Every structure is written in C-alpha cells, then in structure tokens.
Amino acid sequence: AQSVTQPDIHITVSEGASLELRCNYSYGATPYLFWYVQSPGQGLQLLLKYFSGDTLVQGIKGFEAEFKRSQSSFNLRKPSVHWSDAAEYFCAVGEQASGNTPLVFGKGTRLSVIA
C-alpha cells in the first residue's frame, strides 16, 4: 500500500529565507508524486507534479521539488519565501499519471512565515 510521510508538522521561516519541506513516500512501483498547497478554509492548489523524466521539477509560485528514488523522497523547496506562502502543504502519491485513481496524502506541513 502507498503511504506518504511528512515529518514536519509545523515549520516557521523568516520572509526571504529559503524553505525545504520534506516528503517521503512508500510505494512499490513508479510513483506519481504531487505537492498541493491549501490556504485556510480553501481547497487544494496543485504546486507541481512528478511523473517521469527530469527529477527536478518546477512548479508555480517559484516552488521546485526533487525526486530522489534512492531516498524515496520528494522534497519541496523555495529559495526565498514570501509572507503569502504561509499555508498548509500536502505531499501526495498516486498510482497513475492519470486521474483515475485517488491520491494518498501525507498529514501536511503547516508553514508560518515571520517578518
């Protein structure tokens, strides 16, 4: 069975500082990996996804993530955090590239940004 672990429940960074959110997955086959962001009371917005190819993927809002098969990780990074990045971030894994199977989500990491 698939599973996703986000080790950090809550992270606080200063505005302008770099950010890395950790994600580890467990899946026997080729994983399809996603990062979503959720603002309070809102739905999910897709930041980026990895299906195949280049292991460093670029997303929206200046985010990127690197797929490392040897470490079963898909960490999310941003070089300079903005106050508007404060939100909940979810890593997810799916069985297929298409949307015909559901995603399994990690428990999320809440990001706080301080001045």
Partner 1 sequence: GAVVSQHPSRVICKSGTSVKIECRSLDFQATTMFWYRQFPKQSLMLMATSNEGSKATYEQGVEKDKFLINHASLTLSTLTVTSAHPEDSSFYICSASPRTGGNSPLHFGNGTRLTVT
Q: Which residues bind partner 1 (CB under 8 A)?
A: 34, 36, 41-46, 49, 51, 90, 94, 97-100, 102-108, 110
Identify whether the C-beta of residue 105 lies closer than 8 Å to the C-beta of residue 90.
yes
Nearer to partner 1, 19 or 37 (CB): 37
Nearer to partner 1, 36 or 113 (CB): 36
CB of 18 to partner 1, least distance (A): 25
CB of 80 to partner 1, least distance (A): 26
Identify whether the C-beta of residue 59 lies closer than 8 Å to the C-beta of residue 67.
no
CB of 51 to partner 1, least distance (A): 6
CB of 112 to partner 1, least distance (A): 13
Which tokens go with 83? 């106050």
Nearer to partner 1, 10 or 18 (CB): 10
Nearer to partner 1, 55 or 80 (CB): 55
